[in-house]
Each structure stands twice: as structure tokens, then as C-alpha cells.
């Protein structure tokens, strides 16, 4: 997901809640969700009554018990009014009850691991509060016009508002959608379009199939009167769905998708992992700019329109590259639980900069990351919800999508790249993606891939940058030593040490000594909160520069 640029409206936890969650985290809260079964496939049939804002659902969930025999199945479902629950294929009725956002189904007998269970649900949702959004057409001449549309937004856990599901990222399943729309409309779903069939009543049913397993939060559809711009990258069909009168600007926003795919394949060494890649602009996308629904990214129309203006070009490029990067980081390899969301969002944010490096050079890459760093530092000073990148106090709501998870995540990946070196970093990325392809990940999976690629132990790096919060606030004093040929430098880490922020970070610190006969580079090994170094330098030093090439990007420096 991409946060709205410049407008952050995140929930602020009360001090009491913060205190409570800190306690839970300290006690080792398990961020995983236990499962007694594995969902294999969702087949979702969806149709609509637009006037009454009703969604009609007919969903079959195929699953298998995981370890012990299974007598009942609990699925997430909120606001779904069930008319029938049956066991497929015989369609024998099953008893069930709904409570606390779940439907509990009593199976007809006990099932063992390896057996397949196919549950079919008929239901309707009237005026859905989340998950599915009905957007009226806007036709007023003085307003931004758009056609009527219906679209979904699941992440983090709103899929349960439109189909019964195990709505947590650790459960991956294949999926199929049958979306029935009015004549003249199109439906964009996940995976390959199998067919679209004209029905006797004039409606059209689009059938999409997603053949590789993906997390529930990535299931989506977009319905509306759109035109489609088409292209191809290798044998991957690309589509961009836009309003008919926005063809030109959509074309600009869409135009670099192929180049980004080529760059990301080259950097990761992994081919684009899915059968197609669609992007669709939608109206009323609220607090976010885009969402990486698998093979079918949703983009806020207001953000796509930035492509019209020179100042907006980088904004749209960052948005398109961010969501595309999620195909590898998030959709193919997915955080195992919400405390590990930085593995999705930090990588997607970092890949925005990586695309800029390919397209515009190293200085542009660094500048992009400096902006991310500055945004994080500003946020860290005022945030009431500070947390390490691995966020054990994560709650499954929009507070997940914060500056730490995105901007700090991207900056830390840059520092990891600087620590292990360019070749080892991208080799590590390749190992990480290959080893966990279509599976779930935690931070230690990234660590072990990077250790394998670099031959370095990286526990110290992950301890301070991933499992701890904050950053070093350096106060550097220096003086030409009274003894001839010496320079004394003292580096003080002034960050306030608390339960989350280390008193001392460790890192190599480049110091450039500016002498009369030119610059001299020295690297200091920082391991303590206060450390003094004496450097042999015969020529008098006029001034010093700290970390000129931004290897340790996440820090602040005061030179005294």
C-alpha cells in the first residue's frame, strides 16, 4: 500500500494503550495467528444491486485440516448475512453460527489432514461498511468527473467484509472470481481473465483465475466504465484501466511500467512472478495512493492525475514503482504477520529509490532516501507510537501504515546495502526471494539470506536497526592536537536511551579531514556511546565532514 503523499492521518494510540501494548510486547506477544486448517482455494461469485448498495456473494472455500482431525471451521466474516451454508459438491446443508466477526461451521463429520473440505456460502451484504466501496458517478462540470464504480480494499483485514476467509497474511490460497457487471462496464480481478460471458439478463460475468497462492488481503476487484490501455512486457500482458476522458494522462502514468519491470527483474534476478499486471485508477481512494492487489494494482485517480504536471511526475513514478515492487516484495514473498509489515513496505519504498537510481543516477537515489530519512526523523520526534521496524505492538488497522514501517524501512535497507556491499546485497535479495517464493517471511529470513550472500554475521545490524527503535544523534567535536601531527575527534551519541532505543549504535563512520593539501578520508569504528580517536595527520585540519557518501544514512550530526 502507498500512503497519501503529504497527508498523514494515522490513529494516535492513547498513552494508556501504548503502555499496555509495550507491556504485551515486553512479555513476548506472539504476532502469529494459529491455524487448524489451510485454505487451498477461494471461488468467489459476486454480483450487485447498485441502487440498494447490496453485494450478493456465493463463495466456495476449499481447505484441508493441518495437523489434527477437524470437526468445525471458523472463518472471518463481518456484516455478511448468510442464507445458506453447504458442503460441496453435494450441497448438503451445514449448521453454523455467527458471532464476534466469525462464522463457525459444524462439519458433517471429523476430517483428517490430507482430506479436502469444500464449504459453500450464500450471503448478501447491505451497504458494506468496509471492504467493498460503491462510488457514485460524478458528472458536475465544476468537479473532477468520474464514472460510477465499485472497488475493494482489504489490507490489512477487510477482506472478511465481503467474503468468508481466513483473513491473515500467513494463509495463502489460489483464487477465482466471477464478477457480474452491467453491460458496458468492465471488471478487473486477480490473475488471468478466463472469459467474460453475456448473461440472458444483459449483464456480463468476468471470470478471473489466480493460479499461484496469495494472501487474503491481496484479493480484489474493480468494476466500472473504464477504457483499457494495453501493452506487453515479454509475454506478460499489461493493462491500465482509466476513465475514457483521462486516456492521455493515464498513458503518461502508465508509460514507464515496462522499464520498471525490466529494472526490478535485473536487480532481483527474479522474473516478474505472475501472469499479468493490471493497474486501475479509482475514485474516492481515501487515505491512500495505491494498493498492490495481486496482479491488479489499484491507484487513486487523484494521484494518477499528477502525471499531467512536471512537479507530479516523480510522485506518479514513485507510486507506480512502489506498487509494482510489491509484486516481488509483498505479493510473492509476504510478511508472515503484521509485525513484519516493514518487509513489504520498507522494500517497496526502497525500490522506488532503486528505480530512480537506474533511471536518473546515484545522486537521485540518495536524494530520494534523504527525503525518506528526514521524514522519519521529523516523525520520530513527535510520534506517540514509536516502534522498532519489527513492530510487536502492531494492530491490524491503518496505524500499521506509518513512517517507520515505510521510510525507515527503506533507509535501513539502503544501510544494509552499504554494510554488505552492492553485489552481496542484491545476491542476498535474490536468495531471500527465491527461498521464500510464494511463501511468508520474517525479518530473520532476510538476515540469513544476507549473511549467506555476504559471508558476514549481521545480528548486530538487525538488533539495532530492525529490533530496536530510534537512531544515533551524533555530536562530534574535533581539535588539532597540541602535540604535532595529531587530530583528536570525539563522537558522542546523544540519543535518549529508553526501552526501545539503544544507548550506543555500532557503525563505521567516514570522516573527511579537509587539509590545506586536500581531503583525507578516515573511517572510525564506533562501538560506544562516547568515543575519542586520535588521528595522525601532519597537516593542520581546517574542517571535517562526516559520512559524506551517506553510508549511515539514518543519523543526525552536529559538529561542534
Q: Which residues bind Zn ion (CB under 5 A)?
A: 1-2, 345, 348
* Closer residue to Zn ion in complex, CB, 2/185: 2
Task: Tell me which residue of 325, 254, 243, 322 sits closest to 282, measured CA to CA.
Answer: 243
Question: Number of H helices and number of E strands within the chain?
Answer: 12, 30
Q: Which is nearer to Zn ion, 73 or 300 (CB)?
A: 300
Name, in order, each residue with C-beta under 8 angstroms of 16's C-beta and a sequence gap of 6 or more.
Answer: none
**Residue 402 Cα distances to 2, 386, 506, angstroms:** 10, 10, 26
Q: Which is nearer to Zn ion, 264 or 507 (CB)?
A: 264
Q: Which is nearer to Zn ion, 48 or 272 (CB)?
A: 272
The smaller minimum CB distance to Zn ion, of residues 147 and 410, is found at: 410
How far apart CA 442 and CA 333 sit, in angstroms, is 10
Local structure of residue 6 (DSSP, 8 states): T
3-class secondary structure for 213-231?
Answer: EEEHHHCCCEEECCEEEEE
Q: Return the residue matching grid coordinates 516523480.
A: 314
User: Which cell goes with 521?
Assistant: 578520508
DSSP secondary structure of 94-120: --EEEETTEEEEEEEEEE-TT--EEEE
Nearer to Zn ion, 409 or 472 (CB): 409
Q: Give residues with Cβ within 8 angstroms of 382, minimum separation 6.
A: none
Q: How many residues does the chain have?
A: 560
- With CA atoms as reference, report the closest residue to 319 among 342, 302, 339, 337: 302
Question: Tell me, what DSSP letter sits at residue 146?
Answer: B
Least Å distance, CB 452 to Zn ion, is 27
Closest to Zn ion by CB, 331 vs 445, is: 331
- Residue 293 or 454: which CB sits closer to Zn ion? 293
Cβ 530 to Zn ion shortest distance, Å: 39
Q: How far is the CB of 406 from Zn ion (least distance, A)?
A: 7
Could you give the 3-state DSSP secondary structure of residue 133?
strand
Whole-angstrom distance between the N-terminal and C-terminal Cα of the chain?
41
Q: How far is the CB of 504 from Zn ion (least distance, A)?
A: 32
| Closest distance to Zn ion from the beta carbon of 329 (Å) | 9
Q: Which of 334, 347, 243, 340 is closest to 293 using CA atoms?
A: 334
Least Å distance between CB 38 and Zn ion? Answer: 26
What's the min distance (Å) between Cβ of 332 and Zn ion? 14
Q: How far is the C-alpha of 170 from the C-alpha of 240, rounded, in Å?
A: 30
Nearer to Zn ion, 2 or 176 (CB): 2
Q: Which three cell numbers stand for residue 219?
A: 484479493
In the block, which residue shows the cell 579531514?
513
Question: From the CB of 326, what's the least distance to Zn ion, in Å?
Answer: 6
Give me the sheet containing 530-536, strands edge to edge. Answer: 530-536, 486-493, 473-480, 556-559
Beta carbon nearer to Zn ion, 1 or 44? 1
- Selection from 506, 540, 539, 510 nearest residue 523 by Cα: 510
Give the shortest CB-337-to-Zn ion separation in angstroms: 17
- Whichever of 111 and 288 has its CB closer to Zn ion, that residue is 288
Name the minimum Å distance from CB 410 to Zn ion: 11
The residue ranges of DSSP E strands in 269-313, in sequence order, are 277-282, 288-291, 296-300
Q: Report yes or no: 318 and 372 within 8 Å, Cβ to Cβ.
A: no
Nearest approach in angstroms of CB 252 to Zn ion is: 22
Amino acid at each position: 500500500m502507498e500512503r497519501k503523499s503529504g497527508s498523514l492521518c494515522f490513529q494516535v494510540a492513547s498513552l494508556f494503550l501504548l503502555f499496555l501494548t509495550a507491556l504485551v510486547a515486553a512479555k513476548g506477544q506472539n504476532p502469529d495467528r494459529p491455524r487448524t486448517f489451510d485454505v487451498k482455494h477461494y471461488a468467489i461469485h459476486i454480483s450487485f444491486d447498485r441502487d440498494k448498495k447490496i453485494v450478493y456473494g456465493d463463495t466456495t472455500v476449499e481447505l484441508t485440516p493441518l495437523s489434527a482431525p477437524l470437526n468445525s471451521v471458523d472463518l472471518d466474516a463481518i456484516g455478511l448475512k448468510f442464507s445458506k451454508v453447504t458442503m460441496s459438491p453435494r450441497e448438503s446443508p451445514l449448521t453454523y453460527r455467527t458471532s464476534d466477526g466469525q462464522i463457525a461451521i459444524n462439519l458433517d463429520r471429523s476430517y483428517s489432514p490430507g482430506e479436502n473440505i469444500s464449504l459453500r456460502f450464500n450471503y448478501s451484504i447491505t451497504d458494506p461498511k468496509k471492504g467493498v466501496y460503491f462510488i457514485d458517478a460524478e458528472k458536475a462540470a465544476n468537479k473532477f468527473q468520474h464514472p460510477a464504480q465499485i472497488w475493494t480494499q482489504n489490507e490489512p483485514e477487510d477482506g472478511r467484509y465481503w467474503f468468508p476467509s481466513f483473513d491473515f497474511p500467513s494463509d495463502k490460497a489460489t483464487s477465482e472470481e466471477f464478477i457480474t457487471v452491467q453491460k458496458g462496464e468492465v471488471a478487473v480481478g486477480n490473475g488471468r481473465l478466463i472469459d467474460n460471458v453475456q448473461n440472458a439478463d444483459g449483464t456480463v460475468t468476468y471470470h478471473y483465475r489466480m493460479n499461484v497462492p496469495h494472501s487474503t488481503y491481496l484479493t480484489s476487484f474493480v468494476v466500472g466504465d473504464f477504457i483499457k490501455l494495453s501493452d506487453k512486457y515479454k509475454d506478460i500482458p499489461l493493462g491500465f484501466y482509466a476513465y475514457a476522458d483521462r486516456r492521455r494522462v493515464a498513458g503518461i502514468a502508465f508509460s514507464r511500467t515496462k522499464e520498471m519491470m525490466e529494472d526490478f527483474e535485473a536487480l532481483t534476478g527474479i522474473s516478474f512472478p505472475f501472469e499479468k499486471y493490471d493497474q486501475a485508477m479509482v475514485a474516492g481512494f481515501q487515505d491512500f495512493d495505491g494498493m498492490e492487489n495481486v496482479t491488479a494494482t489499484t491507484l487513486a485517480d487523484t494521484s494518477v492525475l499528477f502525471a499531467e504536471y512536471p512537479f507530479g511526475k516523480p510522485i506518479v513514478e514513485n507510486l507506480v514503482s512502489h506498487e509494482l515492487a510489491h509484486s516481488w516484495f509483498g505479493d510473492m514473498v509476504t510478511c508472515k504477520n503484521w509485525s513484519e509489515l516493514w518487509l513489504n513496505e520498507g522494500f517497496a519504498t526502497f525500490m522506488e529509490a532503486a528505480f530512480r537510481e537506474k533511471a536518473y543516477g546515484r545522486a537521485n537515489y540518495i536524494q530520494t532516501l534523504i527525503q525518506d530519512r528526514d521524514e522519519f526523523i521529523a516523525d520520530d520526534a513527535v510520534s506517540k507510537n514509536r516502534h522498532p521496524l519489527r513492530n510487536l505492538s502492531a494492530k491490524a488497522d491503518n496505524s500499521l501504515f506509518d513512517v517507520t514501517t515505510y521510510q525507515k524501512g527503506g533507509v535501513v535497507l539502503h544501510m544494509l546495502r552499504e554494510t554488505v556491499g552492492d553485489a552481496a546485497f542484491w545476491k542476498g535479495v535474490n536468495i531471500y526471494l527465491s527461498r521464500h517464493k510464494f511463501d511468508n517471511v520474517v525479518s530473520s529470513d532476510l538476515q540469513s539470506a544476507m549473511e549467506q550472500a555476504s559471508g558476514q554475521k549481521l545480528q548486530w545490524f538487525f538488533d539495532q536497526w530492525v529490533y530496536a527503535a530510534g537512531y544515533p544523534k551524533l555530536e562530534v567535536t574535533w581539535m588539532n592536537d597540541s602535540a604535532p601531527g595529531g587530530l583528536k575527534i570525539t563522537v558522542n551519541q546523544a540519543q535518549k536511551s529508553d526501552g526501545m532505543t539503544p544507548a550506543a549504535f555500532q557503525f563505521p563512520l567516514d570522516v573527511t579531514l579537509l587539509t590545506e593539501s586536500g581531503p583525507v578520508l578516515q573511517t572510525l569504528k564506533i562501538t560506544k556511546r562516547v568515543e575519542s580517536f586520535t588521528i595522525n595527520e601532519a597537516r593542520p585540519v581546517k574542517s571535517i565532514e562526516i559520512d559524506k557518501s551517506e553510508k549511515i544514512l539514518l543519523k543526525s550530526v552536529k559538529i561542534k
